[in-house]
Amino acid sequence: MTGTGRGYSPELRANALVEALPYLQRFRGSVIVVKLGGNAIVDDDVLRTFAEDIVMLRSVGLKPVVVHGGGPQIGELLGRLGKETEFRDGLRVTDAETLNVARMVLVGQVGRNIIGHINMHGAFAVGMSGEDGRLIVARQRDPELGLVGDVDEIHPGIVRRLLAEDLIPVISSIGVDTSGQALNINADTVAGAIGGALGAEKVIFLTDVPGLLTDVDDPDSLIPRSTVDELRAQIESEVISGGMVPKVESCINAVEAGAASAHLLDGRVAHVLLLELFTDAGIGTMITAVAASGEADIPYPDAAIEEPRP
């Protein structure tokens, strides 16, 4: 973490470390997939603390994987080039020129920026896209959307090899179809699919809201825990609607594909990953296949203060 801890007693700092101990021991060796959106990347302070968290996870024995989007950056460059952007159902209509811009921005700009911030702390991060090693095999979603894809298969071997070398994969959300055609894919979808394929302990989606809210205008309406079945019912009844639906569906897909849990967190909160993973209270919303079992999930129940978050 940044800073020297001024204003906090040695006892408080020690207690924070002790509180983290059971989580450090439980999650050591686990794969943690984190999706970082393009909106977060434009804030240099957010990106700096995000990079510190990712390096911290690696340093204590976890295996972080970063998946990123870059919609705002793609839109900005398209605007500078004088090319209008059309959206349908929240997806960018992607012709060949737009795809070339997306590949250039995601792999050559956004990805490099994330890698640069992580590698300020050591030579840890390695950039790649779903085209590398045919990591993401996709199919075209709809001819009217152009070169926009849905994930068909994940071939995670190249990611596993990087993790085995204690490296941090930073993955751009471009896939490739069976003919070799590159396709632009929603980064939330990619993160969920990769997390499932890797059997990740957690797939974490960093957003610009505190988590899953029943009322988007009321932060106190946060749902701290939910299950796949509960979320499906809330989508059907339109308790969850609008822009939250794709993120919630990505969480559901991640869990159903093999991840132990998915999380929606506010990426604007400094060190939000550490707060979620290594404190008793947790932060944001956690989604599991079935209801969490409380203290039984924690290796050292005496460390729990109130209702612990796994």
**Confidence grade of residue 17 (pLDDT, cut at 50, 70, 90):** confident
Checking if the pLDDT of 280 tops 50, the result is yes
State the pLDDT at residue 300: 30
Burial 96-122 (b: 16+ CB within 10 A, else e): eebbebbbebbbebbbebbbebbbeee
State the pLDDT at residue 120: 95
Q: What is the mean pLDDT of the chain?
A: 86
Per-residue pLDDT tens over the stretch 150-200:
999 999 999 999 999 999 999 999 999 999 999 999 999 999 999 999 999
Residues 6+ apart with CB under 8 A from 1: 52, 56, 271, 274
Checking if the pLDDT of 306 tops 70, the result is no
CA distance from start to end of the chain: 22
State the pLDDT at residue 307: 36
Count Cβ atoms within 10 A of the Cβ of residue 123 and give its class: 0-12 exposed, 13-18 middle, 19 or more buried.
exposed
Checking if the pLDDT of 31 tops 90, the result is yes
State the pLDDT at residue 211: 87
| pLDDT (average), residues 252-259 | 93
State the pLDDT at residue 90: 75
151 vs 153: CA distance, rounded Å: 6
Q: Choose the weakest-confidence range: 222-231, 241-250, 270-279.
A: 241-250
Checking if the pLDDT of 30 tops 50, the result is yes
Q: Choose the weakest-confidence range: 80-94, 109-123, 231-245, 290-304.
A: 290-304
Checking if the pLDDT of 243 tops 80, the result is no
| pLDDT (average), residues 15-42 | 87
Options 3.40.50.720, 3.40.1160.10, 3.10.580.10, 3.90.1570.10; CATH for 20-303 is: 3.40.1160.10
Q: Choose the weakest-confidence range: 22-31, 64-73, 274-283.
A: 274-283
State the pLDDT at residue 158: 96
Checking if the pLDDT of 109 tops 60, the result is yes
Q: Choose the weakest-confidence range: 53-57, 210-214, 219-223, 279-283.
A: 279-283
Q: Choose the weakest-confidence range: 2-6, 57-61, 74-78.
A: 2-6
Burial 213-230 (b: 16+ CB within 10 A, else e): beeeeeeeebbebbbbee
Checking if the pLDDT of 295 tops 80, the result is no
State the pLDDT at residue 258: 92
171 vs 154: CA distance, rounded Å: 13
**Confidence grade of residue 149 (pLDDT, cut at 50, 70, 90):** very high
**Confidence grade of residue 292 (pLDDT, cut at 50, 70, 90):** low
Percent of the chain surpassing pLDDT 70? 90
Checking if the pLDDT of 16 tops 70, the result is yes
Checking if the pLDDT of 303 tops 50, the result is no
How crowded is residue 72: how many other Cβ atoms within 10 Å of its Cβ? 16
